[in-house]
Amino acid sequence: MAAKIKRAKTEFQKKILVIVESPAKAKTIEKYLGPSYTVKASMGHLIDLPKSRLAIDLDHNFEPEYITVRGRAKLLKELQGDAKKAETVLLASDNDREGEAIAWHLRNAITARDSTVPIKRISFNEITPTAIRNAVAHPGTIDEDKVNAQKARRVLDRLVGYNLSPLLWKKVKNGLSAGRVQSVALRLLCDREKEVESFIPEEYWTLDADFRSGKSLYTAQLVLWQGAKPELKNEAAVNALKEQVLKADCVVAEIRETEKTIKSRPPLTTSQLQQTAANRLGFTSRKTMQIAQQLYEGVSLGSDEAQASRVGLITYMRTDSVRISQSALEEVREWIGKNYAGELPERPVEYVVEKKAQDAHEAIRPTYVSHTPDYLKEYLNKDQQKLYAIIWERFVASQMNPARTKTVSVDIKAGEGIFRVSGTKVVVKGFYKVMKLLASKEEKGNPYPNLKMGDPVKMDAFRAEQHFTHGPSRFTDATIIKTLEEKGIGRPSTYAPIISVLLDRYYVTRSNKQLVPTILGKMISGMLSEYFPGVMDTAFTAAMETKLDEVEENQIKWPDMIREFWDPFKEQVDEVGKSLESFKGNLDEPTDQVCEKCGKSMVKKLGRFGFFLACSGFPECRNTRSIPLAKCPKCGGDIVARKTRGRGKEFYGCTNYPECDFISHFKPTSQNCPKCDRFLVEKYDKRNGYYKSCINPECDYLHSEIYGEEVRFDDEQ
């Protein structure tokens, strides 16, 4: 009898086990569900393909061979034990392909140990008490089609990576790797770099003039000369034009007023969040997603002890849809009605979801509109507060009335020239009323010119300015993500990892927030583009993404999709492996340089960080030197990269130091000046971005003053 009572008591104490992905999320959810629930974290994937081998059965429908991830066996065993003791197991990993696969693997591992455990799947778009309790009250089953889509992507990436990487080891250099989507992104970066490097800037000038009317002074720009856009290619052309204008009477010839309606933009998707955070805050895509994850999983709105106030602040941050739920729509309209009643549209603003969007999740939005950025300021760190403000402002503004601006443009006729001055003001603020961090140039505006038709004005002074045309800009995190999205390459969850992988492999470096391919990255991209044009083709990669979507929609079977890709790809790999000559011999080039330590010749080698000179007597002599980048304009010696003592800041100096004291803080390019034939250097500033300038201070081709500065430097790296 006592035994029966004890057994009944044990069964009565059984809890429901909820398994999520991260500890932070587990801590938040456990507070919402109460003592009848235990929430544990899987810490991501516990079961996956092994790293040491292909593990794909090519003869049996590409079936993957899964194993427990190294170092995760103990955690998996604990979860299996907890599941056996639980009344029910609720798998609550993220509601995307990877999350579905995690749930699928966990279910299989738990049932393999005890097939009697009831297992269900729950999903939610936000971590709030209402959303979590609603998910628990309406559990479902694992989406096998979504699992198959993840399996297909995993197998596809494994087949590409584990066939191309060994080819690179054999033909180029040991330790290299290639990925399906990352290689296409690398090609985009390298193609853009070719355009940047081949561009030669051309000189042009603009001409402004100060006009006085009474006590007011206006600066206007020359926009027409003899009825056409002025072409001022040099200073002589500017001076000739000024002489003609000085003789002419100046009068207000035309005034135009235009109004412009500015509609609010839709709430943020993953790519838009990363682009906006990059442009407005300077965040990398990786940093943006890390902070967004923190906001999604939950932040404590109180002291450390007051964990009951822990709440998820935004909805799921991996989405390509601009859809919002009906409850969120009602909440934001109610908030706008109370706080900005005049800016509430009669009907909710609707945004079109693009055809290629999966629409599995809502747009990224705050979970509670009442949690304004100012309200949360004391609970968030600086970066969290900024990112949250972007999300909140964009969401609330998306359901407010448009803004309206008024622009007044005044044309001043001066002889055969037309000078124009304009001013813009916001006449109806609309959604701008909630914009602080995302305030635009239109909102700030500038004063209207107070002039009337026929008013005579007096020319006070000219303002001529020299410019040079700008070539294409290098990609930044924001622009490469935008390009990948436009071309249909990757998905919301992959944008940040694509950039991170390229940086980690040192195929790309980040300079002034721009992504610059390395020598190694260019070489890898060039070889893959030549011998595997299909894999490196953007349209082909986008088509593969579409097929993965079709697998998820159960329109095609994943083994059929893989087979269609694999047969021609494998044939190409085998052919290239036989016919392609090894690049390894070409990478180690003999030079006429002599090792100053042992007297043997130096060899040009390719290392992880680019080319360098190494002694041919290695390993007895381990001397290395930097590759000369240009010839010194003072003594004819070699210009190489140096680093200052202390902070280690890079600059470029002559190898004949201290006899020659030439230095440059700007990197020499492979191009020579079209005017004096000295080498060009690459410069950067916020106004002009990257541009090339002549190293010769006597040359007026984007003049650069760099002589005469003394810097002490260490020996060669």
Question: Tens digit of pLDDT for each residue in 361-373?
Answer: 789 999 999 999 9
Residue 443 pLDDT exceeds 70: no
Whole-number CA gyration radius for the chain: 32
By annotation, the residues acting in catalysis are 316
Q: Give the mean model confidence (pLDDT) for residues 625-641.
A: 82
pLDDT at 445: 72
HSE-CB for 643 with a 13 A CA cutoff = 9
**pLDDT of 469 over the 60 cut:** yes
Its pTM stands at 0.81
Query: Across the beta sheet with 689-694, what order do the strands follow?
Result: 667-672, 679-685, 689-694
Each residue's pLDDT tens digit, 241-283: 998 888 889 999 999 999 999 999 999 999 999 999 999 999 9
Q: Which residues contact 670 (CB under 8 A, 6 or more apart)?
A: 197
DSSP annotation of 364:
B
Which position has the token pair 């599941």?
83
Q: What's residue 44's pLDDT?
A: 87
Q: Which domains does the chain have, with CATH numbers?
A: 13-142 (3.40.50.140), 151-199+473-579 (1.10.460.10), 203-263+404-468 (2.70.20.10), 270-278+306-397 (1.10.290.10), 587-694 (no CATH)
**Residue 665: predicted pLDDT:** 82
Q: Would you state the pLDDT for residue 360?
A: 63
291-305, 333-347, 380-394: segment of lowest average pLDDT? 291-305
Q: Is the peptide bond before 590 cis (omega within 30 degrees of 0)?
A: no
Q: Sheet holding 601-607: strands in order across? A: 589-594, 601-607, 610-615, 624-625
Which of 103-117, 199-213, 642-656 shows the lowest mean pLDDT across its residues?
Answer: 642-656
pLDDT single digits (tens) 420-436? 999 999 999 999 999 98
**Which pLDDT does position 5 carry in this prediction?**
43
Distance CA 219, CA 210 (A): 4
Q: Quick one: which of 137, 64, 126 has its CA closest to 101? A: 64
CA angle 107, 108, 110 (to 5 degrees): 65
Q: Which amino acid is at 62?
A: F
pLDDT tens for residues 571-587?
999 988 887 766 655 56
The whole-number pLDDT of residue 685 equals 66
How close are the terminal C-alpha atoms of the chain, in Å? 82
Strands (E), 214-289: 216-225, 250-262
Structure tokens of 566? Answer: 């694999």
pLDDT of residue 646: 59
Q: d(Cα 254, Cα 409) in Å, to the nearest integer?
A: 8
- Max avg pLDDT among 210-219, 578-587, 608-617: 210-219
Peptide bond into 658 cis (omega under 30): yes
Of 132-146, 467-481, 624-638, highest mean pLDDT = 132-146
pLDDT, residue 307, reads 45
| Other CB atoms within 10 A of residue 447 CB | 10
Residue 707 clears pLDDT 70, i.e. is over it: no
Peptide bond into 619 cis (omega under 30): yes
Residue 120 CB neighbours (<10 A): 18
What integer is the mean pLDDT of 30-58? 92
- Alpha helices, DSSP H only, in 437-494? 441-444, 477-486
pLDDT at 172 over 80: no
Structure letter (DSSP) for residue 430: G
| pLDDT at residue number 689 | 62
